[in-house]
């Protein structure tokens, strides 16, 4: 990756994409700004200019992840509000965007008070909530159950804890059948 121009032109995106790839392969710990800079063919300090600091990079990734998740939930909701299908969608999101998912749920990595991130998080959260039947405490409990089971499944799978349990079966259908054990009728 050699450059003829002084300005890269698309560094922001390139850095994030390189980071996502690295995270998927070897986790967020393996990410160094200097590695990203080398991969992009820029100087070692260029990444910090775009993101302020390393946590800024992860903040950008977490925000992007929340928006991607929100988009997906919104698409699902357009087809009718079925909480269980939303859960399956959540699980598929974690599998399709492992790096985003990983960063999103590691608050120690990013700037928790970032306003853009807060807005993105709210958007995704509100969409999820809008799919819950019932109201008040009962609705809260249903949301809690659905979110917990989907998040737990996605997380345990990502960390390799379900390899033996899921051996030889399709994770998506397995999740669907498992989620069927949840009583969510109003």
Summarize as ranges the residues that interact with DNA (CB under 7 A): 3, 5-9, 11-12, 31-35, 37, 42-46, 48-50, 53-55
Which segment (40-48, 66-74, 75-83, 176-184) binds a second copy by CB under 8 A? 176-184
Helix (H, G, I), strand (E, B) or coil at 30: helix
Among 9, 136, 160, 186, binds a second copy (CB under 8 A): 160
Take residue 89 and report the two structure tokens written for it. 């969608």
- The nearer residue to a second copy, 78 or 181, going by C-beta atoms, is 181
Distance CA 40, CA 34 (A): 10
The least distance separating DNA from the CB of residue 43, rounded to whole angstroms, comes to 3
Could you give the C-alpha distances from 31 to 1, 38, 54, 101, 133, in angstroms and in order? 19, 12, 9, 16, 42
Take residue 13 and report the two structure tokens written for it. 């995106």
Distance CA 97, CA 118 (A): 20
Distance CA 1, CA 78 (A): 42
The least distance separating DNA from the CB of residue 119, rounded to whole angstroms, comes to 21
> What does 35 interact with, of DNA, a second copy, none (CB < 5 to 8 A by kind)?
DNA
- The nearer residue to a second copy, 39 or 105, going by C-beta atoms, is 105
């Amino acid at each position: 990756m050699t450059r003829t121009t002084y300005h890269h032109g698309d560094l922001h995106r390139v850095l994030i994409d390189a980071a996502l790839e690295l995270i998927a392969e070897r986790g967020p710990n393996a990410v160094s700004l200097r590695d990203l800079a080398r991969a992009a063919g820029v100087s070692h300090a260029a990444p910090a200019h775009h993101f302020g600091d390393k946590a800024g990079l992860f903040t950008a990734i977490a925000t992007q992840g929340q928006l991607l998740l929100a988009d997906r939930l919104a698409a699902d909701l357009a087809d009718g509000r079925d909480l269980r299908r939303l859960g399956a969608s959540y699980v598929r999101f974690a599998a399709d965007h492992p790096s985003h998912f990983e960063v999103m749920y590691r608050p120690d990595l990013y700037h928790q008070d970032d306003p853009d991130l807060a807005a993105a998080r709210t958007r995704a959260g509100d969409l999820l909530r809008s799919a819950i039947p019932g109201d008040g405490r009962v609705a809260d409990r249903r949301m809690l159950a659905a979110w917990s089971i989907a998040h737990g499944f996605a997380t345990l799978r990502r960390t390799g804890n379900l390899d033996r349990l899921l051996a030889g079966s399709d994770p998506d259908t397995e999740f669907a059948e498992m989620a069927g054990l949840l009583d969510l009728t109003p």
